[in-house]
Amino acid sequence: PASRPLAGKHVLVTAGPTREPIDPVRFLSNHSSGKQGYAIAGALAALGARVTLVSGPTALAPPPGVDRVDVETALEMEAACNAALPCDVAVCVAAVADWRVAAAGQKLKKQDGEMPSLTLIENPDILAGLAQRQTGRPQLVIGFAAETHEVLDYAVAKRARKGCDWIVANDVTGEAMGGARNQVHLVTATGVESWPELPKADVAARLALRIAENLTGSPNP
């Protein structure tokens, strides 16, 4: 029915930060609140999709009708995403830490005059991994780009580099990170749509409708 255009579809959403251990009591992370990703998961479920939300640590309750899988590190997030396949659509909203600490062993100790140094290694790019799968690639793979300047140029380049279908780009110099509203540009193969500044729930609802339209080939007013 028109009100549940995503019935029968499975959508994977990643959200929140990841947390990369330095030692048993410390970690590297970022300020992602998870709000935009959770709102997208909820909007997709409201359109009838089965939604798997792979989430880093957040203060949020899972939206109604969403199956949440809790993870901490980027490696755990990647494994949980692979375990959730197959899916029809993947929406990668998580702020995955780019690096993890190479050898996160025992608790670091203060030593006279000596500073510990951390060796970082690159985390897997979960979005690029999903977008470039040889088999079982989701039909529609969507990434986010949070930039502080030249948002559109970077978003267009990011879409090509990651191999995803759409990039939702936003300027994070304002209140987007942790805030309640968001102004985004949707970068697709055919061009760029700039949406007005909206509450994150409205960005989510609009994106969910665009996803439904793309999958079913019919516009959903």
The catalytic residue positions are 30
Nearer to ligand C5P, 5 or 11 (CB): 11
34 counts as binding ligand C5P under rule CB under 6 A = no
Among 6, 126, 169, 211, binds ligand C5P (CB under 6 A): 126
* Residues 75 and 100: beta-carbon distance below 8 Å: yes
Instruction: Using CA atoms of 193, 9, 60, 120 in order, give the dihedral in degrees to the nearest 10.
Output: -80
| Distance between CA atoms of residues 129 and 141, nearest Å | 10
Nearer to ligand C5P, 4 or 161 (CB): 161
Show contacts with ligand C5P in window 88-107 (CB under 6 A).
92-94, 96
Write the binding mask 159 to 198 for ligand C5P: x where contact by CB under 6 A, - elsewhere: ----------------------------------------
* Residues 77 and 99: beta-carbon distance below 8 Å: no
Q: Is 23 annotated as a binding residue?
A: no
Beginning with the edge strand found earlier in the chain, give each strand of the sheet holding 166-171 in spatial order.
66-70, 50-55, 10-15, 89-92, 140-147, 166-171, 184-188, 191-194
